[in-house]
Chains A and B, each alone.
Chain A
Amino acid sequence: MSVRSTVLSQFKQVATEQNKTLAPLSDGLALLDSGLDSLCFAIIVARLEDTLGVDPFSAAESANHPATLGDFIKLYEDAAK
């Protein structure tokens, strides 16, 4: 599975588990508008670390935090290289 599809499937999985309505996923989607809250993102980051072996948030400079879903996926694609 590509990094992109792994990330997208985690978004859907966690939204279902947490009873959140997920906005239609597109690269331009602002994470703040995705329907997920900080606990959801925390879980997504933990699970992606287990599947992809990377946690770009702990490694990255704080200025690097992604604003959109596209940025988020790119962060993981870069980290997983």
Chain B
Amino acid sequence: MPQSDGSSLWALTNAAGRLSDRVLWGADASVILGDLARGSSLDGRIGELHGRSVLVATKDQLTAALAFIELDGIARRLVLCPPDLPQDHVPIVMATAAVDAVVSDRVPAEAGTPSVGPFVACGPRLTPVVPERNGRYQTEWILLTSGTTGLPKMVVHTLSSLTGAIQDARTQATPVVWSTFYDIRRYGGLQVLLRTLLGSGSMVLSSATESTDAFLTRAGTHAVTHILGTPTHWWTALSSSSAHRLAPKYVRLSGEIANQAILERLRAQYPQATIVHAFASTEAGVGFEVGDGLAGFSASLVGQRGADVAMKVEDGSLRIRSARTAARYLGNEGETLVNPDGFVDTRDLVELRGDRYYFVGRGDGVINVGGQKVHPEEIEAVINSHPGVQMSLVRARKNPITGTLVIADVVLNVEADSAKGRGEELKDEILRLCRAALPRHKVPATIKFVPSLAVAATGKTARRNA
């Protein structure tokens, strides 16, 4: 759809000002935003991409960021290809989005994309041209969700729905240096990039090939002030010997349930920081953030009148209506993203206790023990409250008697792990905590200490059913 108001991502970035002071730092290269006024990352071929449906399939996050900045308003559609998209899904994704051009930092043979139109190289070494950025299109941004089975869902956003939660971003008095453990090709990471661009900040981009230690060190070197990640990211960061290299003013968690234990650990590690947890999803957009240091959220948020995000709870599941939700799924014609009443069902289950709602798990993550429902996250919250525990994963184990039992994989923190020989004692302590806080069928039948947990490309702890 053509647009005329000139509110492309480049125009908004430009309007935020101070382009020459602002930098995007990748793991291997960096680009000063001001240089994009005199050069292009797209090999001087941006003219070939006007009005096209462009797959941005880069190895590197920095090159992807540059392509997004340059192509919003120019391309009809941007398809954000996450780094872990299986090769055999690429042709289907391209066909569904009617892709007719590819932007990549790889050579065509390596990128493995079917030949559909221009294949434009993209990189951090800018071509000295004065690019015409008279964006005419209201570009559709297509984000891919991470289904664990089958094809990813393709979610349609616009720059306007993606930036709906970004307010007063330009009022920051001191320069903000953003960073995130997330990849910017996914909703959470893209939010951070857009906040950076619209809010006159700089940003340190993460890299899939970099260790947590190396990333934290790099973020510390660039004096990151605002940093975001999942609780799993943060558990991992806190166990790293480089956690102290950060001195953030603002720490934000989203993507998984932020329980009290992780909020307390972050508070202890970064006493100078504002620590908030937020609810957002690719489909529902940014819902709300919670800044009182407590898990869950105030029940007064639900059913509030006149708020820019309306929330309700139906069948235990949180539903959200706002201008920030995605429009629809691409391809999946049979599947509804937005219900007729305008609400998006997040499929995140909440429970009212007192005057707060608490997230209890995902509708599709429930474990059935002898006919009783168990949310693994609820048990993990109890296990993680043990001071010796770094993180944990509760999962189902087949059982001939009850059908299923819950068992726990537990990663100990450095101190607890060094106290070898106390293993049985620690297991007993953790089980006693669980027995005191949970009904019998939710207490793990066995606890296994493991060196680490598998983390999905989304930064969330990998769950088979989630």
Q: Which residues of B contact A57 (CB under 8 A)?
A: 400-401
A58→B370 CA distance, assembly (Å): 16
Total number of A-B contacts with CB less than 8 angstroms? 38
Evaluate whether A18 and B370 lie within 8 angstroms (CB atoms) in the complex, with A43-B405, A46-B399, A47-B446 already known: no
B404 nearest CB neighbor, chain A only: A42
Q: Which residues of B contact A17 (CB under 8 A)?
A: 431, 435
Q: Would you mind naming 21 contact pairs between A and B with Cβ atoms under 8 Å apart?
A: A17-B435, A38-B370, A38-B402, A39-B370, A39-B402, A39-B441, A42-B399, A42-B401, A42-B402, A42-B405, A42-B445, A43-B405, A45-B401, A46-B399, A46-B405, A46-B407, A46-B445, A47-B445, A47-B446, A55-B400, A58-B400
Minimum CB–CB distance for B116 against chain A, Å: 50
Q: B440 in the interface, Cβ–Cβ < 8 Å?
A: yes
Complex interface residues of chain B between 441 and 460 (CB less than 8 A to chain A): 441, 445-446
A41→B401 CA distance, assembly (Å): 7
Majority secondary structure of chain A interface residues (helix, strand, loop or mixed): helix
Per-residue CB contact flags for chain A residues 8-45 toward chain B (1 = under 8 Å, else 0) read 00000000011000000000000000000011011101
Partner of A43, one of B398, B400, B435, B445: B445
A47 nearest CB neighbor, chain B only: B446
Report A's interface with B, CB cutoff 8 A: 17-18, 38-39, 41-43, 45-47, 50, 55, 57-58
Q: Which residues of A contact B435 (CB under 8 A)?
A: 17
A34→B291 CA distance, assembly (Å): 52
A50→B398 CA distance, assembly (Å): 13
Minimum CB–CB distance for B371 against chain A, Å: 10
Q: Which residues of B contact A39 (CB under 8 A)?
A: 369-370, 402, 440-441
A59 nearest CB neighbor, chain B only: B400
Q: A43-B446, A46-B407 are in contact. List 19 more A-B contacts (CB 8 A).
A: A17-B431, A18-B440, A38-B370, A39-B402, A41-B401, A42-B370, A42-B401, A42-B405, A42-B445, A43-B445, A45-B399, A45-B400, A46-B397, A46-B445, A46-B446, A50-B446, A55-B400, A57-B401, A58-B400
Minimum CB–CB distance for A60 against chain B, Å: 9
Minimum CB–CB distance for A52 against chain B, Å: 14
A38 nearest CB neighbor, chain B only: B401
Q: Which residues of A contact B369 (CB under 8 A)?
A: 39
A43→B370 CA distance, assembly (Å): 12
B443 nearest CB neighbor, chain A only: A17
A50 nearest CB neighbor, chain B only: B446
Max chain A C-beta neighbours (<10 A), residue from B370, B435, B440: B440
Minimum CB–CB distance for A31 against chain B, Å: 11
Q: Which residues of A contact B398 (CB under 8 A)?
A: 58
Q: What are the 10 closest A-B residue pairs judged by CB atoms, nearest first? A: A57-B400, A42-B401, A42-B402, A43-B445, A46-B445, A42-B399, A58-B400, A41-B401, A38-B401, A42-B405
Q: Which residues of A contact B397 (CB under 8 A)?
A: 46
